[in-house]
Amino acid sequence: MQSSTRLFLSLAFLGVLATALVVVGLLVTGRAYVENESLAAAERWANVVRTRMTWFKPLLRGAALSAEDRHHLQFAAETSNVTRFNIYDAKGKVVYGSRKKDIGKLSDESYFYDRVALGHKIVKVGELFKDDRLIGETYIPIMENGKFLGAVEVFIDVTAAMARFQRLSNIAALVLVLVLVMTGAAQFFFIWRHLQRRRAVERQQDLARTKAEQANQAKSSFLAHMSHELRTPLNAIMGFSEVLKEAMFGPNIDDRYKQYAGFIHRSGTHLLSLINDLLDLSKIEAGHYELHEEDIDLPKALGNCIELMRVQANQKGLDLRLVVPADIPVLHADLRSLDQILFNLISNSVKFTPQGGNITVNAGLNAERGLTISVVDTGIGIAKDAIAKAMEPFGQVAEHGSQAKNEGTGLGLALTRYLAELHGGSVRLESEVGRGTTVYVCFPSERLGSKKIIQVQGKAADSSPAALAAASESA
């Protein structure tokens, strides 16, 4: 878990501990408070006896109290919350009390003789009457010049005081329960969040592992295909060059020598194309690919590519067409990259379009006023769930019924996408198995129009369509 989670749980534990200590403290101090209240009330009433020492001594010798003294004691009891009282002589005999039935009885409490007679005060809390009142029983010795004369036993009703502390204890206990519940909920939440994060990390790791495995599988497949692609032209070069070197058809120039020289040239060109694709891909991925931009006449550039690919198309009996408006703006881009994009797309269409099919290259403005070049074929098509793989490096898609499925490196579409993105554009592929494929290459509107500086009404400006339109309007 994170450090903030640990800090919260630590604070929550301290909160629970503090609340528990408060509850225990209230229970302990509550009884002590009640005992102190009982003792204080008894002391107040005992002071009445001390102020009446003139009648206390005769009372201890058996004399009767006057009506005034009895009234004074009763009044003091009522004002001190005393429920009843007894006055003992030094021998533990009740000489006067609030209840007549207690007068004359001897105390049966051993601590009366062990402690009270020695001058100690005794407080007991917990005696319950029939009406469930809580009573504090207090013994206070009456001393004179260090001599024990007797004692007063005072019963104080401490029910209300104890109830107040009980309420506080209940509130504290409720708070403790709430803190425990909240802490438990917080712990559950943090544990749940921790588990969710761990699952998310595991999912990401699984996804990364799957991608790594797919990349590794793609590279393994690429190496297998690349081995074939490199071996074939190299074998041709070595074999035909050996024929030429040994003059196997005689010392005189033979037409077959020229034919074999052509084979060597084509094999070397194919090998160079493969190496260039790999070098371009590595440069793009490393961010070192440089664009040499210029103004490109699109009808001319597209026408050149079509003518170069027409030989391959004719060999398969394919109808290769170009549809481009004559007034289409110039494209400011890297001509070599544009040629490579077109060659990759047209060669794919030628490779995967059956004999007698059609391939059409279109160019025009799109809804965003940018340029869209599309290559449409009537080939075998690509399944929708395989399109993403086909757009990745080394992502060869084995289509049903394709004899060319093991040809090439699987870099064509990926390089096309990377080169388009370097120009600020994008590549989109639509395909349906058995009906054909359409690849759209889009360039942003900023790349349309000449970037050469021209003179408009004595001011420097570019020849983009927007600039020319603004100039014509102002004119």
For the stretch 91-109, pLDDT in tens is 888 888 888 888 888 887 7
What percent of the chain is predicted at pLDDT more than 70?
75
Domains of the chain plus CATH, in order, are 3-157 (3.30.450.20), 166-284 (1.10.287.130), 294-451 (3.30.565.10)
249 band by pLDDT with thresholds 50, 70 and 90: low
pLDDT at position 377 is: 95
| Contact between residue 137 and residue 124 where contact means Cβ atoms under 8 Å apart | yes
444 band by pLDDT with thresholds 50, 70 and 90: very high
Chain-wide mean pLDDT for the chain? 78
- pLDDT tens-digit series, residues 7-40: 666 666 676 677 667 666 666 666 677 777 777 8
Q: How many whole angstroms separate alpha carbon 310 and alpha carbon 319?
A: 9
Q: How many whole angstroms separate alpha carbon 128 and alpha carbon 120?
A: 24
The DSSP code for 100 is G
pLDDT at position 321 is: 94
pLDDT at position 445 is: 92
225 band by pLDDT with thresholds 50, 70 and 90: low
Closest CA relative to residue 329, chosen from 375, 372, 376: 372
pLDDT at position 279 is: 76
456 band by pLDDT with thresholds 50, 70 and 90: very low
pTM for the whole structure: 0.47
Name the more confident of 360 and 398.
Answer: 360
CA angle 114, 116, 120 (to 5 degrees): 110
| Contact between residue 317 and residue 352 where contact means Cβ atoms under 8 Å apart | no
457 band by pLDDT with thresholds 50, 70 and 90: very low
319-323 and 358-365 strand pairing = parallel
Phi, psi dihedrals of residue 316, rounded to the nearest 5°? -100, 5
CA dihedral 427, 432, 438, 443 (to 10 degrees): -20
pLDDT at position 226 is: 62
- pLDDT tens-digit series, residues 373-404: 999 999 999 988 888 888 877 666 655 444 44
Residues listed for the chain? 475
469 alpha-carbon distance from chain centroid: 51
pLDDT at position 406 is: 44
DSSP element (H, E) containing 301: helix 298-315
| Contact between residue 140 and residue 151 where contact means Cβ atoms under 8 Å apart | yes
